[in-house]
Structure 1
Amino acid sequence: MRKQSAFILIVLVTILLISGTVWYFVVQQDADGAKVLEIAKAQKGSVAVQLQSTGIIQAQVGAIVKTGTRATGVIERMLVRVGDRVEKGILIAKIDDREQRANYVAQEAALRQAQAQLENVNKTYPIQIDQAQATLDGSLAQRRFTYLTWQRRIALVATGVLEQSSLDEAYQDYVVAATQAKSNKDALRLLEENYITDVINAVEAVVSAQAELDNASIQISYTEIYAPIDGLVSQVTAQEGETVVAGLQVANLITILDPTRLEMLIYVDETDVGTVTRGMPVNFTVDAYPSVIFRGSVSKIYPEAVIQDNIVYYQALVPLKPKTAIQLRPQMTTQCSIITKEIDSVLVVPNNAIKWVDGKQYVYIVDENNRATPVSPEFGTMGANNTEVLSGINNGDLVATRLILPSNQSKE
């Protein structure tokens, strides 16, 4: 019996405690008003109107370079792996170049042969021209001699000293000498023309051989692949021992990414794009660093729309500073806040201090006795965290950010 009486007594005390607690939170709150849980101060501050959207990190134009080769052959050495940091100009891969070097040696021989031919032309023709000039000079002298002989015999025949046959013989000698002189002159002119032609052909042969040698050197250079930019190796598509066949398109072997040259594309809804202009600040986060806020600014808005899930978006471009870009990766999804309007040095209250009661906005001002009095101030610009107060609240007033309203007041 005593145990049963004690149990009944405990139950009665528990019921009385619960009833007292309910009476305090219902009856007492109805009598005393709202119960303040947290407060904040109305003070001067800034209000930022933000447009929420999503974006994606991507590499800038030229930040990703796919490096390949125009040479055909077996990969002799692959000097990098994915994730390696490389500097512009260092050797990153080597292709077997024996075929290219054999061709280079053959072109060197062809060049030497062409040079020798040019040297031979310049050496032999001047000698031949000198000889032809000497022959011409001799024939010209012979022609003059026979001419003078012919003239003298004309006078001698006229006086009867010589016979007509002697005159005829002298004339015949002159004609033969004149013909020979003309022939030697034509031979000299032809030799000089041939000299010019052969020199031109020999020079062109040397130039052509040099060009072929230069091309052979270029073909050798294709077998050595150098890093075109500073960055990180993001892809390696072939390994040592594999054969690369160069066709109409260059075979891509190694992709290099410059991690400092990234940008962000923000997808702005067509209903909001009119509020976004160039130069607006942007704050954004990524899932990899949820507690870090990155910053940038809009540099341009692309004119062409992008349709995703039957929704029209316009892309706003935000270049990233190298210090910011180095922490991010291409294709990361971002949660963005575009600050479309920002005002400073105005009286503000936290957004959670504004309460809706019976369809109206109120702010509860807290006095020194922790009693909350509702007021209906005039609000200005509402931002993401704060709201501008135009009138109805003074600088320094304490306002309730969390409170329990009396049960006889309806709330929205």
Structure 2
Amino acid sequence: MKKILVLLLLLGAAGGGFLHYRNRPEPAPRYLTAVVGRGDIVQTVSATGKLQAVNTVEVGTQVSGTISELYVDYNASVAKGQLLALIDSTLFEAERAKAAADVAAARASVAEAQANVDDARRTYERRKTLYEKDFIAAADVDSAETTVATTKARLLSARASVAQAEAALRRAETNLGYTRIVSPVDGIVVGKSISAGQTVAASYQTPTLFTIAEDLTKMQVEADVDEADIGYLAEGMSVAFSVDTYPESTFHGHVHQIRLEPSTTENVVTYSTIIHVDNPDMKLKPGMTANVEIEVATARDVLKVSAAALRFSPPEPAEGKKGQGGGQGKGQGKGNGNGTAQGGARLWTTDLRPISVRTGLSDGSFIEVSGDIEEGLEVVTAVIGQSNGDSARPRMPF
């Protein structure tokens, strides 16, 4: 009898516990919140590019030969007109000497032709006088006149030969001058592709011997900007960028040129954007990769809130949440992806009271807001779980 009584008491306790569990109050949701703050919002366009000198000159040679002397190396500072290298000039000096001799010979031929013309003219004058006195026939006069015309033609030909020889001399002297490789600009040698004793051939194309960066205190970034962002850019916009070797430093420049020629790589269309940069301390070097942020719009001292707050929608009522667990609720996905909830931009206070707002500039993390809203207002950004009591609401920084 006692065993039956104990069993009934246990069954009664279990039933009471089950009824209490079923009728327990619904746990209160816990929210992640953010505060409406005031500050600046800067909208930027991101891109990457390579640093390079504003003007880079490739120095080549127009004549072939062996490099006999080399006067500069990498990173050497050079001045305009400075001698960089010499090509063996033995053959070119011989060609100049031959051309000079040809000029002398052509001038001697002119003198000889001139003498022949003078002699032919005197002969003609004598025969003409004799013919007038009937001492010779008219045919002799005609022959002398023909000789004058012939010698004049030979004189013209000799003078043309002089001009031709002088042109050949100038060409030989020019080629001899090309054996001196000089710098066309002031700058720094950033590339060298020759060494003393090497033979260079300029038969079909001009070989590059040196690459000279004109002024490394003024550099440029050639950034590839995606076609989706190129419409936001304009010349003169401010640019901030960083390089891997100085991760803690930010460098500044401005958009100098937006080139209209598109480039397509794997179906991605980009436009080359030239950014001018000052480099007074020479920290930036050609070839460095620049991570560029181009400032396209700025809102100063405005109310702003986390973009997540505009994507939040309150969870469904308790009847519709059974069996779903304590996540963020179905309402979390009702935003349209750009920070505006369906039916207009709306923020939710911690007591789930909606506030309609107008949105403005966004930098991806924060959005400018205006309307019936004040600085310091706490708004909900997400449901992060359930609790049985009034626990503290975690906040996001504004």
Task: Tell me whether the two structures share a fold, i.e. TM-score over 0.5.
Answer: yes
1:295 aligned partner = 253
Paired with 2:281 and 2:263, the residues of 1 have a C-alpha distance of 26
1:380 aligned partner = 359
1:241 matched to 2:197? The reply is: yes
Q: 1:381 Cα shift?
A: 1.9
1:299 match: secondary structure: strand
Q: 1:232 Cα shift?
A: 1.8
1:47 matched to 2:41? The reply is: yes
Q: For this pair of structures, how many residues does the alignment match?
A: 327
Q: 1:201 Cα shift?
A: 0.7
Contact 1:381 1:387 in 2 (8 A): yes
Aligned pair in 2 of structure 1 residues 220, 400: CA closer, same or farther (>3 Å)?
Answer: farther
Q: Please, which of 118, 129, 149 is the counterpart of residue 126 of structure 1?
A: 118
Higher helix share: 1
Aligned pair in 2 of structure 1 residues 333, 379: CA closer, same or farther (>3 Å)?
Answer: farther
Read off the aligned partner of 2:362 and give its amino acid letter. G
Paired with 2:280 and 2:307, the residues of 1 have a C-alpha distance of 32
Q: 1:226 Cα shift?
A: 0.9
Once the two structures are superposed, the pairs formed by residues 236-315 of structure 1 within 5 Å of their partners are 236-258=192-214, 259=216, 260-268=218-226, 270=227, 272-273=228-229, 275-279=231-235, 280-290=237-247, 291-297=249-255, 299-308=257-266, 312-315=268-271
Q: 1:192 Cα shift?
A: 1.8
Paired with 1:261 and 1:336, the residues of 2 have a C-alpha distance of 14
Q: Normalized against structure 1, the TM-score is what?
A: 0.66
Q: Please, which of 128, 137, 152 is the counterpart of residue 136 of structure 1?
A: 128
Q: 1:300 Cα shift?
A: 1.8
Q: Normalized against structure 2, the TM-score is what?
A: 0.68
Paired with 2:206 and 2:263, the residues of 1 have a C-alpha distance of 33
Equivalent pairs: percent with the same residue?
20
Aligned pair in 2 of structure 1 residues 137, 35: CA closer, same or farther (>3 Å)?
Answer: closer
Q: Deviations over 1:251-301 (max 9, x none)?
A: 322122233353322231x4x236434335433222223321323226325
Q: 1:235 Cα shift?
A: 1.8
Read off the aligned partner of 2:42 and give its amino acid letter. A
Paired with 1:99 and 1:35, the residues of 2 have a C-alpha distance of 85
Once the two structures are superposed, the pairs formed by residues 72-111 of structure 1 within 5 Å of their partners are 72-111=64-103
2:162 match: secondary structure: helix
Unmatched runs of 5 consecutive residues or more in structure 1: 1-29, 144-176, 366-372
Aligned pair in 2 of structure 1 residues 52, 228: CA closer, same or farther (>3 Å)?
Answer: same
Q: 1:407 Cα shift?
A: 3.3
Q: Which range moved further: 298-307 or 321-330?
A: 321-330
Q: Deviations over 1:63-82 (max 9, x none)?
A: 33322223232212111101
Unmatched runs of 5 consecutive residues or more in structure 2: 1-27, 315-331, 333-340, 385-389
Paired with 1:298 and 1:115, the residues of 2 have a C-alpha distance of 59
2:137 match: secondary structure: helix
1:136 match: secondary structure: helix
Q: Which range moved further: 376-385 or 68-77?
A: 376-385
1:212 aligned partner = 168
State which structure, 1 or 2, has the greater radius of gyration over its C-alpha atoms.
1
1:336 aligned partner = 292
